[in-house]
Amino acid sequence: MLAALFLIAPVLSACDAPPAGPAPLSVQADTLNTEWAVEWWLPRHKQKLKDKDKQKVDLIVLGDSITHGWEGEGEAVWDEYFAPRNGFNLGFGGDRTENVLWRLDNGAVDGLSPKLVILMIGTNNTGHRMDSVEDTVAGINAILKKLKQKLPATDILLLGIFPRGATPDDPARLRNQQINRRLKANAVNRKWQRKHANVHYRDIGSIFVGDDGVISETIMPDLLHLSPEGYRLWAEVIEADVARIMAD
């Protein structure tokens, strides 16, 4: 299954959905026919291609629906923290690692030279189909490699996958924690550091979880997506990193 992650997806036509990636064939077929993907995913991608050429972009946030939410529940916090830094939102609901790779291969950041990309991706790999730790980490590393190719002068703030689920033993949360441990181990590995010298790793997930391991619904109403309070916590905890990296 790991090898399938690196297959090149076909160019999408107006009636196509985003690539399904390394799922079993039956799951691929279901995903390729997902109505929400046909209705808004590709139009959003096309609109973002137009938008990026109309504004100055010094900061990109890249990820799934949690990042997409900076345009919804997180909008006020975005206007305070990221809009003044010429931020550009490339979060797409439902995205897994392979969907981000497809977008990068199809113009998402072409022509840009931001100072910083904030990347957080992977919870849909675990939550949707419980991909293995190895496959999800490989997907994240492939995104980092692609970003280095596309944006060689850009720093990347790689965030650990946020916690999810009602309790500490939620299967998807446990899988996310395993992935984050692997990402942390990579980040302190000298060989990995040489390959990804511009990548800064942080796991900020603890700010969303109480001492008992329970996630407050005032922070994550559905135990996955953030409330306005959750977005403020996110922005505040990475502010020092963002300011330092973008000042260099």
Active-site residue numbers? 65, 222, 225
Rounded CA-CA distance 11/104 in Å is: 12
Q: 129-140 as b/e, with b when 16 or more CB fall inside 10 Å?
A: bebbbebbbbbb
Query: Mind spelling out the 3-state secondary structure of 168-203?
Result: CCCHHHHHHHHHHHHHHHHHCCHHHHHHCCCEEEEC
At position 243, the amino acid (one-letter code) is: A
Rounded CA-CA distance 63/160 in Å is: 12
Rounded CA-CA distance 57/110 in Å is: 12
Return the bridge partners of 215, or none: 209
**Sheet containing 87-91: which strands, arranged edge to edge?**
87-91, 59-63, 116-120, 155-159, 199-202
- What is the CB-side half-sphere exposure of residue 162 using CA atoms within 13 A? 25
Rounded CA-CA distance 4/230 in Å is: 35
Tokens 């939410």 correspond to: 69
